[in-house]
């Protein structure tokens, strides 16, 4: 599928695990700009990790932090909306044919912009409270749950063009993306 190696820790402090992925995303964005890198392989690995990471956060981390009153429902929903926006930008990146076109470069910069915005906000409004208000035990428990869900998704494959298309469509159906902007078939 891809020769780009994605680390797959199975446990750890949830705050550290999520931040480690964020640093990998930053590195992948740089590599997807680099003419000397295997940009096609990195693009596919980036898609797999981004989907696995966001889904694992939504299913295993945000709801538990909300139950434990570390974050509130608004922060959870805002995170989900930003994941939806990031997935839509990812879809445009995957739709670019090849990695040496203007469409690819434009889509790459667009996904970089929404993803870096989300990472900044998530670290400030979700990970900082998790660091200060969640117990060490809870952070370890969430670490295992996040890593397990993330690795399972990576194992089964979750970031193909068809899969990302379906995720974006679902986000529109769930009202996570503004309906008037739904794109027509490209």
| Subset of 127-186 contacting Fe ion (CB under 5 A) | none
Burial code of 52-89, b = ≥16 C-beta within 10 A, e = fewer?
A: bbbbbbeebbbebbbeeebbeeebbebbbbbbbbbbbb
For residues 140 and 26, give the distance between their C-alpha atoms in angstroms, rounded to a whole number.
25
| Subset of 17-36 contacting Fe ion (CB under 5 A) | 18
Query: Of the ranges 10-18, 101-109, 137-145, 170-178, which one interacts with Fe ion (CB under 5 A)?
Result: 10-18
Cβ partners under 8 Å of residue 1, min gap 6: 44, 157
Q: Which is nearer to Fe ion, 51 or 99 (CB)?
A: 51
Query: C-beta of 27: minimal distance to Fe ion in Å?
Result: 15
For residues 22 and 30, give the distance between their C-alpha atoms in angstroms, rounded to a whole number.
13
For residues 68 and 62, give the distance between their C-alpha atoms in angstroms, rounded to a whole number.
10
Q: Which is nearer to Fe ion, 72 or 100 (CB)?
A: 72
For residues 29 and 111, give the distance between their C-alpha atoms in angstroms, rounded to a whole number.
9
Query: Of the ranges 14-22, 34-42, 96-104, 131-139, which one interacts with Fe ion (CB under 5 A)?
Result: 14-22
Q: Is 93 helix (H, G, I), strand (E, B) or coil?
A: helix
Judged by CB under 5 A, the number of residues near Fe ion is: 3
Query: C-beta of 82: minimal distance to Fe ion in Å?
Result: 7
x/- binding map, residues 53-82, to Fe ion, per CB under 5 A?
----x-------------------------
Query: Of the ranges 29-37, 96-104, 109-117, 118-126, which one interacts with Fe ion (CB under 5 A)?
Result: 118-126
For binding to Fe ion (CB under 5 A), which residues are involved?
A: 18, 57, 122
């Amino acid at each position: 599928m891809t020769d780009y190696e994605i680390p797959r820790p199975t446990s750890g402090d949830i705050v550290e695990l999520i931040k480690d992925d964020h640093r990998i995303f930053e590195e992948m964005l740089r590599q997807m700009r680099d003419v000397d890198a295997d940009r096609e392989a990195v693009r596919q690995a980036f898609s797999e990790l981004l989907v696995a990471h966001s889904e694992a956060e939504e299913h295993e981390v945000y709801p538990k932090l909300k139950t434990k009153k570390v974050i509130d429902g608004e922060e959870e929903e805002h995170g989900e909306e930003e994941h939806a926006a990031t997935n839509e930008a990812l879809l445009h990146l995957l739709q670019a044919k090849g990695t040496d076109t203007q469409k690819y470069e434009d889509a790459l910069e667009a996904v970089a912009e929404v993803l870096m915005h989300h990472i900044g906000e998530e670290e400030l409004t979700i990970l900082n409270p998790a660091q200060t208000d969640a117990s060490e035990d809870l952070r370890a428990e969430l670490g295992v749950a996040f890593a397990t869900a993330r690795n399972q998704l990576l194992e089964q494959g979750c970031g193909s063009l068809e899969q990302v298309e379906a995720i974006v469509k679902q986000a529109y159906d769930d009202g996570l993306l503004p309906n008037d902007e739904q794109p027509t078939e490209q």
